[in-house]
Amino acid sequence: MTARALFQRLLANDALNFALTNRVPRAALTRLFGGFSKIDHPWVRHVSIALWKAFGDVDLSEAKKTHFSSLHDAFIRELRDGARPLDPRPEVLVSPCDAIVGALGRIDGDTLLQAKGMRYTLGELLGDETLAAQLRDGHYVTLRITASMYHRFHAPADCRVEQVRYFPGDTWNVNPPALDRVERLYCRNERAVLTARMYNGTPLVLVPVAAILVASLRLHCVDLTLHAGYAGPHRLSCDSSVRRGEEMGWFEHGSTIIVLLPAQAALAPQVRTGERIRMGQALFAPPPADRV
């Protein structure tokens, strides 16, 4: 049995997976990994990227460049032009990232499903009851970005980002074993809430949620890198127009984005829990303008 196969077998045991990736000093390990991943040294770069490839399903062939200065540089890689074509229907909202689809569907009043009966509320996630009220009975999709995937995320539709709220927090893993065990995980982890409005007035909310080994979250709309040591204001006003498919920022490791839309929206029929989706593929059909 190869080392990769043995590693994957160990992680397939949910209890062991949870212990190995959560019953550790999460914050300290995240800071340590963040610093290590940025070491620009040939030996460190070569060994760390080789190990990453050996134990993960990593494909760097789509990257815009072929040489990386560090493991961090490979994590936040840009893709070649055309590697992620957008759905040709301009009215369709597209996936903001490459991901595995998690819990999804209709929001039950203000309650969303985390996993296997574990639930949380819009108010807890967003920290804003007024915004939560706008999304009541709406729709949501949970998009989990694994460590081997493309880590940048993009605008699902033409929109204007009006505000960013940053919530410092924990760094629980966001994989299924943790979601099955940690109540209100997304509300406890470090996260940002990006409040946007499409040009027909429909609200669109993206919630990037950090996880263990995620050293920071880069957001272009406020020109900031948010992380546990960030000491600035946690409510940031902005006025940033982005086009459908335009890059909005990146994670520095695998994590999750929760996409929220009001009740009039509809999930694309092919979006199902457990399926892989790529940035640019259909995610939502938009609400008609006369029902906003």
**Catalytic site residue from 48, 70, 95, 255:** 255
Angle CA(202)–CA(104)–CA(265) in degrees, nearest 5? 25
Of 204, 194, 210, nearest to 255 by C-alpha is: 210
**Catalytic site residue from 154, 227, 240, 253:** 154
* Distance separating alpha carbons of residues 212 and 114, to the nearest angstrom: 18
* Distance separating alpha carbons of residues 93 and 286, to the nearest angstrom: 7
The number of beta carbons lying within 10 Å of the beta carbon of residue 70 is 18
Whether 98 sits among the annotated catalytic residues: the reply is yes
Token representation of residue 188 = 């406890």
Of 292, 274, 276, 282, nearest to 245 by C-alpha is: 282
Alpha helices in 99-202 (DSSP H): 122-126, 129-134, 176-179, 185-188
Of 115, 83, 89, nearest to 283 by C-alpha is: 89
**Catalytic site residue from 70, 98, 227, 253:** 98
Phi–psi pair at 253, nearest 5 degrees: -170, 180
Question: Residue 62 carries which DSSP code?
Answer: T
Which string of DSSP letters, residue by residue, matches 219-258? ETTTTEEE-TT--S-SEEEEEEEE-TT-EEEEESS-EEEE
Token representation of residue 144 = 């989990």
* Distance separating alpha carbons of residues 181 and 172, to the nearest angstrom: 11
Whether 255 sits among the annotated catalytic residues: the reply is yes
Whether 154 sits among the annotated catalytic residues: the reply is yes
> How far, rounded to the nearest angstrom, does the alpha carbon of residue 132 sit from its chain's CA centroid?
20
Of 22, 10, 11, nearest to 185 by C-alpha is: 22
What amino acid positions are annotated as catalytic residues? 98, 154, 255
